[in-house]
Amino acid sequence: MNPPIFIIIMLTVISGTMIVVTTSHWLLVWIGFEMNLLAIIPILMKKYNPRAMEAATKYFLTQAAASMILMMWIIINLLHSGQWTVLKDLNPMASIMMTTALAMKLGLAPFHFWVPEVTQGISMSSGLILLTWQKIAPLSILYQISSTINPNLILTMSILSVMIGGWGGLNQTQLRKIMAYSSIAHMGWMTAIMMYSPTMMILNLTIYIIMTLTTFMLFMHNSTTTTASLSQTWNKTPLITSLILVLMMSLGGLPPLSGFIPKWMIIQELTKNELIMMPTLLAMTALLNLYFYMRLTYTTALTMFPSNNSMKMKWRFECTKKMTFLPPLVVMSTMLLPLAPMLSILD
CA gap 347, 331 in Å, rounded? 27
CA gap 155, 193 in Å, rounded? 9
Q: How far is the CB of 143 from other proteins (least distance, A)?
A: 22
SS3 45: coil
Verify binding: residue 1, other proteins, rule CB under 8 A. yes
**By rule CB under 8 A, what count of residues binds other proteins?**
23
Q: Which is nearer to other proteins, 15 or 229 (CB)?
A: 15
- Alpha carbon distances (Å) from 266 to 198, 204, 240: 10, 8, 30
Q: Which is nearer to other proteins, 20 or 109 (CB)?
A: 20
Q: How far is the CB of 66 from other proteins (least distance, A)?
A: 18
Neighbours of 171 (CB within 10 A): 9
CA gap 34, 12 in Å, rounded? 10
Q: Which is nearer to other proteins, 8 or 170 (CB)?
A: 8
- Residues facing residue 226 across a β-bridge: 174
Verify binding: residue 153, other proteins, rule CB under 8 A. no
Backbone phi, then psi, for 149, in 5-degree steps? -75, 140
Q: How far is the CB of 35 from other proteins (least distance, A)?
A: 5
Q: Which is nearer to other proteins, 19 or 330 (CB)?
A: 19
Q: How far is the CB of 100 from other proteins (least distance, A)?
A: 14
CA gap 240, 287 in Å, rounded? 24
From residue 281 to residue 320, the character string flagging contacts with other proteins as x (rule: CB under 8 A) and all else as - is ----------------------------------------
- Alpha carbon distances (Å) from 210 to 203, 204, 264: 11, 10, 17
Verify binding: residue 61, other proteins, rule CB under 8 A. no
Please check whether residue 94 is in contact with residue 77, taking contact to mean a CB–CB distance below 8 angstroms.
yes
Please check whether residue 98 is in contact with residue 73, taking contact to mean a CB–CB distance below 8 angstroms.
yes
Verify binding: residue 343, other proteins, rule CB under 8 A. no
DSSP 226: B
Verify binding: residue 9, other proteins, rule CB under 8 A. yes
CA gap 193, 195 in Å, rounded? 6
- The interface with other proteins within residues 12-51 (CB under 8 A) comprises 12, 15, 19, 28, 31, 34-35, 38-39, 41-42, 45, 48
Nearest to 132 by CA among 329, 339, 346, 338: 329
Q: How far is the CB of 19 from other proteins (least distance, A)?
A: 7
Q: How far is the CB of 38 from other proteins (least distance, A)?
A: 5
From residue 177 to residue 206, the character string flagging contacts with other proteins as x (rule: CB under 8 A) and all else as - is ------------------------------
Among 7, 68, 93, 284, binds other proteins (CB under 8 A): 93
DSSP 181: H
Contact residues for other proteins, defined by CB under 8 A:
1, 5, 8-9, 12, 15, 19, 28, 31, 34-35, 38-39, 41-42, 45, 48, 56, 76, 79-80, 82, 93
